[in-house]
Amino acid sequence: MTSGGWPGGSSLAPRPVAEQAGVISETRRGAVASGRPRVEARGQGGPPRPAEATGSCHPDRTRADRPDTLSIPRRLQAEGRRRKVGCANAMRYDFDRVIERKGTGSLKWDTVERSTGVADALPLWVADMDFRAPDAVLDALRARVEHGIFGYAVKTESCYRAIIGWMKRRHGWAIERGWILFSPGVVPALNLAAQAYTQPGDRVIVQTPVYYPFSTAVVNNGRELVPNTLVEEGGAYRIDFDGLEQSIDERTRMLIFCSPHNPVGRVWRRDELEKLAEICVRHRLVVVSDEIHADLAMKGHTHLPLATISPAVASLTVTCTAPNKTFNVAGLQAGNVIISNPELRDRFRAVLTNAGLTMANILALAASEAAYDHGEEWLEQLLEYLHGNYLFLRTFVEQRMPRVKVTPLEGTYLVWLDFRGCGLGDPELKSLLLQKAKVWLDAGPMFGAGGEGFQRINIACPRSILAQALERIAAAISQ
C-alpha cells in the first residue's frame, strides 16, 4: 500500500479433581460434586460494603459536595487512599457466591430456551461475569440514584482523571485528557472506526479466529473482509506475519487488532507487537486496537498497549478500552476511545457526532469513575479467582476429558477448547453440548476461519457452576 493511503475419559471422580486443582475448599466440595451450586437470592449477599468492613480505618461517610464528584461518596475516596497505603482490615470478596440472574433481563441467562431450545442449559457463552460489581461501583450508583435527577450528563474532570490514572498505574501508559473520546461500548466503536477511516469497498484485515463483531463491523459497513488467520502450533497461537504482509494491497486501509486476543487467550509479547507495528507503519494502516480485556492478563503475563510500542504506531492507533469486562458493567455500555493523532481523533469525533452520540450515560460515567479510582483491590482478587478457575478447568479436562485440549490462557476469562480429538463435526459437537450435556458455549466457527472444532467457554462464574458444566460435558462425551 502506498504512503498516500489512509491510514473417552478416565473414571476419576470430581473430588480428586478438585483436590488436585487445589482450588475448592472443603466446605464446598459437596456442592461441587453433586452439581448443586449454592444459590442466593438476587440482590442479597456479596461482600461487606466498605463502610462495614473498615473498622478503625472507617472513613468519613459524608458525600462529596463538589459537582464533579457527586457520584462518589467522600468515604469511597478515603477508602481508595486507605487501600493504597494498606490496612489490616482489607476485605475479601466472595466470588464463590452464586447469585440468581434469571428474571433480571439477562442476555446470558434469560434467553437460554429461546436461543437454544434447551430450557435447562447452563450458559457459559457470552462474555459477562456472574459476579457482583465492586462495592465502590455499587455505592457510586446508589449515590447517583439517591440524588434522584437523571438529566443530561457531561464528562467530568474527575472521570477523565480516573481514566488517565488507571492507564498509567495499570499499564504504564501516559495518556492525555484530549486524547479520550467516549462511545457506548467497544463494538459501536469498531463500527464507527470503519466509517471514520475507510470507504465502501476498502479492505479491512481481521485476525481469525476472532471476536465475531470484528467481521460484522467490516461487512455491515460495506467494506471487504480480509482474514489473516492466526497460526496454531502445539496448541498455542501466533500471528502469521508473512500472511499479513501478503494480504495488504493498495485498497487495504485498516487492521482491527484484538489484544489480548479473544478467543485464543493470547497476551501478545513486545517482540510480536513491534513486528506488527513495523508492518502497519510501513503500509500506513490504521490499527483499531480492541484492548477491552487489557486488565485481565493472567499471572506471568503483562498487557502492553499497542500505542506504547513506538510513536510511529501510536500515530496510527485507535485504542478501544472500557470498564465493562474488567468490572462486569457491560450493561451500562461505557467505552473509551483513546487517539493521540489529532487527525484520526477528529475523524472519529465526526462520526460520533453524525451518529448523534455526543453524550454519555450518566450512570456509566459514575460507574466508570468509581471503578477506575477504587476497583483495584477487587480486580486483584478477581484475577486470583479466575486463575484458579482456569487451573481447575485445565486439570479437570486433562483427567476427565483427555480427547479435549485446553488452549493456554494468558489473558481474558474466555478459554478456547479444542474438541477436534472427539471426531465430531461442528453441527454434531454443538448438538452434543446443548442436547446431551445441556451446556451453552460459543461455537468455534462463529469466530471465523480457524475456529472449526473449537468451543469458547466463559469461566467468569462461581467455581461450582463451572464444575457442574464440566461434569455435564464429560458425561456427554463419555457416552
Task: Please report, for the chain, the start and end positions of each structural domain, with discontinuous segments joined by +.
Answer: 157-358, 384-478
> And the C-alpha cell for 475?
458425561
CATH of 384-478, one of 3.90.1150.10, 1.10.357.10, 3.40.50.12280, 3.40.190.10: 3.90.1150.10
Residue 42 pLDDT greater than 70, yes or no: no
d(CA 421, CA 405): 8
**Average pLDDT for 41-48:** 37
Is the torsion defined by CA of 273, 274, 275, 281 positive or negative? positive
157-358, CATH topology level: Aspartate Aminotransferase; domain 2 (3.40.640)
Q: What is the pLDDT of residues 139-170, one digit of tens each?
A: 999 999 999 999 999 999 999 999 999 999 99
Could you tell me if 307 and 313 are in contact, meaning their C-beta atoms sit under 8 angstroms apart?
A: yes
Residues 239-261, mean pLDDT to the nearest whole number: 98
CA distances from 381 to 40, 61, 86, 322, 388 (A): 21, 25, 15, 19, 11
> Which of these, 69, 21, 126, lies nearest to 458 by C-alpha position?
126
Q: Which of 141, 182, 161, 125 is nearest to 322 (CA)?
A: 182
DSSP-derived secondary structure letter, 234: T
Share of the chain above pLDDT 90, in %: 80
List of residues 6+ apart from 408 with CB closer than 8 A: 235, 236, 265
The CA distance from 465 to 98, in Å, is 8
What's the whole-number average pLDDT of the chain? 86
| pLDDT, tens only, 373-414 | 999 999 999 999 999 999 999 999 999 999 999 999 999 999
How far apart CA 135 and CA 169 sit, in angstroms, is 21
Side-chain half-sphere exposure of 175, counting CA atoms within 13 A: 33
> Regarding predicted confidence, which is higher, 200 or 29?
200
